[in-house]
Structure 1
Amino acid sequence: MKDIHHVEQPPSGQAPAPLRGIATMRPTHVNPVTLKRVAAIAGARGLAASVEQTVRGVTSDSRSVVPGDLYIALPGAHVHGHQFGAAAATAGAVAILTDDAGAQALAKHVDLPVLSCPDPRGVAGEIAALVYGTAANTGLGGVELFAVTGTNGKTTTTYFLNSLLRALGNSTGLIGTIEILAGDEPIPSKLTTPESTDVHALLAVMAERGLDAASMEVSSHALAFGRVDGVVFDVAGFTNLTQDHLDLHGDMEAYFATKAELFTPAHSRAAVVTIDDLWGREMAAKATIPVSTLLTAEKGAMGSPGATPEFSGADWKVRGTRRQGIGSAFELHGRGMVLRVQTGLPGGFNVSNAALALAMVADALLDNTPTLDDAQVAARLQDALDRDDPFTVDVPGRMQLVGTAPVAVVDFAHNPDALERALDAVRSPVEGSRVIVVFGATGERDQSKRPIMGAIAALHADVVLVTDDDPHDEDPAAIRAGVLAGALEARERNGLSTVIEESTSRAKAIGRAVELAGAADTILVAGRGHEIFQEVRGVNISLDDRVELRAALAHHGFPVTNAGTIRS
């Protein structure tokens, strides 16, 4: 699911149906807050400012309203939340917070106190933190919070964090693209980062359940739309920055500036920043919180660009990377320790993801556990790494192995850098083997990356099958045309023999890839990863790349894994 800012929309103009999932996760015990106090925080206008009515919950989704809630009606990309005010009132909302336009519309339709402020989204996080008791100065009952941002690698790094923290004996939570976990309870995720009201409710649940730590993906959308407002993370991590989401941010400088907001005292106490490229170095330099730097690029190691001498003084460094099966083994050097690490996931980028997760946890232990000296921290980490192999955890739809001969992999790569890295990672050393890639581009997103991705596919694969990703409301043929133009131009310019085909059906394109493959080849199905629905003109069509790939492999008599049946 490629994150996009939106507001709920009912089918065919009807009122929205009740939601199950994220928004139903509320703490059992909440200290009621008066509307007067809410109005004071929001700087809100309206009669409700003098009402002593209390609020016991907060949500910006009318489908998740329960009695006692404040419903925050937000303006969205397509509709305004005030349209669902009556539904929220029927569900038991005690008041509504919105902007002036929403307040004027609601005055005619609902018999509830309505508070009006210029920027309801901008105050939603602070209000939710107050209601759920998760404000930074109140603590979270001992829950240590880790955040990961960057263009690529967020999901895998948070899974690595979660796995390592568990190996160290912690009870953990996870908030991310694929799912949300509060202990062992999984909940499917709607966005890379939920709305701020849901984030604070989730954190309150985690504190109430006595969890030790939680890891969260923080996208640029989350920062731009205030979804982590009021949350202060103990350690934030930065993976990388490459072209993506320019439909929202406009250019790379604005994209960087949005990401950089995480590395300020308003959102984090400390950070680990990967400095393999110029964006990472700039992030480390501009952060206004304590930063440890991480260098994972080794000269000549797995195709990396190499470390430049001026950055050899990084706090953490990856050394001795070598291929181990389909994964890698390496050492992480830093802060007086040398840790031996392995990951079963392929690609140099997963070395970087594992190193970042390990450095973040190591920093947290070194800086926040006064009862352990440095040698004890190193011993504890090495024991967890050796005993539990935490970086060989299964990450749904992230370099996920579906078949073995041919090697068949499903990955979420949906931008140029991720696609190039994924293609290079799956390239077999067996002479004569080919890489066959199935991919497309997402509709209603940055159109400039489509020909770039097409060119990358033509340059790094032997067979390119261009098909649909999630077209949304855009013409699928126009999207494919943009991708194909880049692929065909790159093939001609470089005198390549790359086979390039177009398919209007993603399932048929996956079948075609298997039909063309030999046992020594590699198939990469890229772009959708863990997603189980394809959105076409507002309709969600059942489509799981892993299931389709597994079925096609079995049909042709090739061996398969159980990845096509994994819980999503």
Structure 2
Amino acid sequence: MISLPLFSLLTDVAVLAQHGPADVLITGLTLDSREAGPGIAFGALRGTATDGHKFIEIAVGQGLAAVICEELPATLNPATAYVLVQDSAAALAHMASAFHGHPSRQLQLIGITGTNGKTTCATLLHKLLRELGYHAGLLSTVQNQIDEEVIPSTHTTPDAIRLNALLARMVAAGCTHACMEVSSHAVAQHRVTGLRFVGGVFTNLTHDHLDYHGTFDNYLKAKKGFFDALPKTAFALTNADDKRGSVMLQNTAARRETYSLRGAATFRARLIANEVHGLHLEIDGREILFRLIGVFNAYNLLAVYGAAVLLGEDPTEVLTILSGLTTAPGRFEPVVSATQRVTGIIDYAHTPDALENVLQTLHEIRQPSQQIITVVGCGGNRDAAKRPIMANLAARLSDKVILTADNPRFEDPNEILAQMQAGVTVPDATKVRTVPDRREAIRAAVALAGPDDIVLVAGKGHENYQEIRGVKAPFDDKLVLTEIFLELNK
């Protein structure tokens, strides 16, 4: 068990004031007052739902060792150490890194941020590194991984305490590299503060998470904050074709690198063909066939290629391995019914840009006789502004559309669907049906499909649950679609 004196964890923390014993031994860190107890340091964070400062006295009553806070309570317990800081989240992140022996400094840690493509890029880079012979870790929306060991994921980026614990496990397992998604929430909430990255990758920036950030400018600043914090020893690789790509590099101290399908860049690609069996690209003068489909995946592949080369890997070997890799679960994942000759596509597309990318890709690879039937919803307690936009895109770029529930959470799914329906224009109205039950919506889409048609089930991707009124019930789009195909085969 780890046991370290409090003062040794505060080396990188800007302490405003300290009360009580400085040499108290710390055996664990927590953000949850219910986990407080002897040897534990509790970080009182001001969250969006509640303020951890309200629970300091309760935590102290449970015998904890130390409190990290932005405001001291009226009464101080002489047996407890109180550390006053300007930002508890940033302080806890630095402490978590120190507590676990600064594991990020012992890894080649690459962070990938952007609205879309984070999971695919992180997963591909992880697979690539392992094929190159490295022991590598993965931190992603779909799952966390230490070499072959899979650890379920609950957030795109875990909190700083769990994150550093996972990185420490990777180091203990002999990993030399780690690939991780870096969400905008993670930057804003200091989950990645104190980590040392050897490289950062930017994919793109579109409309998302405004329910949390409030404005698009705040969302952009959160993404940019990741690159602003990179050291000069790191590389910052950005998508030159995204209009915000150059913004990410404005204030970074890291080495600035770019990738592009359209113009001059450090790493360039040319799209030769985008077909149902894969992509044909020319990358830095080499023609390669890839198993992934879609222009958006051309960008993902180019970003991963660039990151690997910047890590010092051989370009030819990298491209050879990438050509044989498949995407992450729930990212343009096919489910085929041979009997009905219907192709299902499961995709995590839950933003307007991601949905448009997927539908445009289907248009590029389908035959003229093939219909595109789209099942799509929008999550509850999230950015409502995108709901009519999502429905409008689906109706405009599909032959038929079923609007349905996604994860309604604590909202009325019928109200979400009404907001989506408002985005459907009169000319497209006849294409659109509303089926609130997601399983029945997928069943209805399959029933509408004829031979060789394509059924796109969008929004949830890899998720294996549906969240309704705070309860997560088992629900897997891929499994449900497979079951419906099997039922119709009987």
Q: Decide: shared fold, TM above 0.5.
A: yes
Aligned residue among 272, 289, 297 for 2:237: 272
User: Would you say the 8 A contact 1:229–1:267 is kept in 2?
Assistant: no
**1:331 pairs with 2:268:** no
SS of equivalent to 1:329: strand
Looking at structure 1, the residues matched to 368 and 316 of structure 2 have their Cα atoms a distance apart, in angstroms, of 42
Task: Show the counterpart of 2:373.
Answer: 436
Task: Show the counterpart of 1:33.
Answer: 5
SS of equivalent to 1:556: helix
Aligned residue among 53, 56, 59 for 2:27: 56
| Displacement after TM superposition at 1:238 (Å) | 0.6
SS of equivalent to 2:13: helix
Looking at structure 1, the residues matched to 120 and 410 of structure 2 have their Cα atoms a distance apart, in angstroms, of 29
What's the RMSD between the two structures over aligned residues? 2.8
Task: Show the counterpart of 1:195.
Answer: 159
**1:319 pairs with 2:251:** no
Task: Show the counterpart of 1:527.
Answer: 459
User: Would you say the 8 A contact 1:514–1:556 is kept in 2?
Assistant: no
Task: Show the counterpart of 1:419.
Answer: 355
Q: Per the alignment, do residues 446 and 198 of structure 1 end up closer, same or farther by CA in structure 2, a change over 3 Å counting?
A: same
**1:543 pairs with 2:462:** no
Q: Per the alignment, do residues 498 and 407 of structure 1 end up closer, same or farther by CA in structure 2, a change over 3 Å counting?
A: farther
| Displacement after TM superposition at 1:61 (Å) | 3.8
Looking at structure 2, the residues matched to 352 and 245 of structure 1 have their Cα atoms a distance apart, in angstroms, of 22
Looking at structure 1, the residues matched to 293 and 151 of structure 2 have their Cα atoms a distance apart, in angstroms, of 27
Looking at structure 2, the residues matched to 403 and 46 of structure 1 have their Cα atoms a distance apart, in angstroms, of 63
* Residues 425-463 of structure 1: per-residue CA shift (max 9 Å, x gap): 233532221111111111122221111111101110111
User: Would you say the 8 A contact 1:231–1:267 is kept in 2?
Assistant: no
* Residues 367-401 of structure 1: per-residue CA shift (max 9 Å, x gap): xxxxxxxxxx2343345346xx1x324x1111111
Looking at structure 2, the residues matched to 92 and 522 of structure 1 have their Cα atoms a distance apart, in angstroms, of 60
Looking at structure 1, the residues matched to 136 and 436 of structure 2 have their Cα atoms a distance apart, in angstroms, of 42
Q: TM-score, normalised by structure 2?
A: 0.91
Looking at structure 1, the residues matched to 293 and 191 of structure 2 have their Cα atoms a distance apart, in angstroms, of 32
How many residues are aligned here?
485
Looking at structure 1, the residues matched to 11 and 321 of structure 2 have their Cα atoms a distance apart, in angstroms, of 48
Aligned residue among 123, 141, 159 for 1:177: 141
Q: Per the alignment, do residues 497 and 484 of structure 1 end up closer, same or farther by CA in structure 2, a change over 3 Å counting?
A: closer
| Displacement after TM superposition at 1:323 (Å) | 2.9
**1:479 pairs with 2:382:** no
Task: Show the counterpart of 1:347.
Answer: 294
Q: Per the alignment, do residues 535 and 429 of structure 1 end up closer, same or farther by CA in structure 2, a change over 3 Å counting?
A: closer
Looking at structure 2, the residues matched to 90 and 344 of structure 1 have their Cα atoms a distance apart, in angstroms, of 58
**1:452 pairs with 2:452:** no
Q: Per the alignment, do residues 282 and 36 of structure 1 end up closer, same or farther by CA in structure 2, a change over 3 Å counting?
A: closer
SS of equivalent to 1:328: strand
AA in 1 matched with 2:124: F
Looking at structure 1, the residues matched to 386 and 252 of structure 2 have their Cα atoms a distance apart, in angstroms, of 28
SS of equivalent to 2:193: coil
Looking at structure 2, the residues matched to 37 and 361 of structure 1 have their Cα atoms a distance apart, in angstroms, of 34
Equivalent pairs: percent with the same residue? 33
User: Would you say the 8 A contact 2:228–2:251 is kept in 1?
Assistant: no
User: Would you say the 8 A contact 2:96–2:164 is kept in 1?
Assistant: yes
**Greater share of strand residues, 1 or 2?**
2
* Residues 483-518 of structure 1: per-residue CA shift (max 9 Å, x gap): 11102x2xx2xx347521111211111111111111
| Displacement after TM superposition at 1:82 (Å) | 5.2
After TM superposition, the structure 1 stretch with the greater mean CA deviation from structure 2, 269-278 or 216-225, is 269-278
After TM superposition, the structure 1 stretch with the greater mean CA deviation from structure 2, 126-135 or 282-291, is 282-291
SS of equivalent to 1:232: coil
SS of equivalent to 1:277: coil
Q: Per the alignment, do residues 348 and 90 of structure 1 end up closer, same or farther by CA in structure 2, a change over 3 Å counting?
A: farther
User: Would you say the 8 A contact 1:325–1:344 is kept in 2?
Assistant: no
| Displacement after TM superposition at 1:239 (Å) | 0.5
Q: Per the alignment, do residues 64 and 37 of structure 1 end up closer, same or farther by CA in structure 2, a change over 3 Å counting?
A: closer
Looking at structure 1, the residues matched to 380 and 226 of structure 2 have their Cα atoms a distance apart, in angstroms, of 28
Q: How does 1:226-241 map to 2 (within 5 A)?
A: 226-241=190-205
Q: How does 1:24-423 map to 2 (within 5 A)?
A: 30=2, 32-35=4-7, 38=10, 41-43=13-15, 45-48=17-20, 50-61=21-32, 68-81=39-52, 93-100=64-71, 103-104=73-74, 112-134=80-102, 139-140=105-106, 143-266=107-230, 269-296=234-261, 307=262, 312-333=263-284, 338-365=285-312, 377-385=314-322, 389=324, 391-393=325-327, 395-404=328-337, 405-423=341-359
User: Would you say the 8 A contact 1:31–1:132 is kept in 2?
Assistant: no
User: Would you say the 8 A contact 2:231–2:254 is kept in 1?
Assistant: no
Q: Give the unaligned 5+ runs of structure 2.
A: none
User: Would you say the 8 A contact 1:135–1:230 is kept in 2?
Assistant: no
AA in 2 matched with 1:81: G
AA in 1 matched with 2:279: S
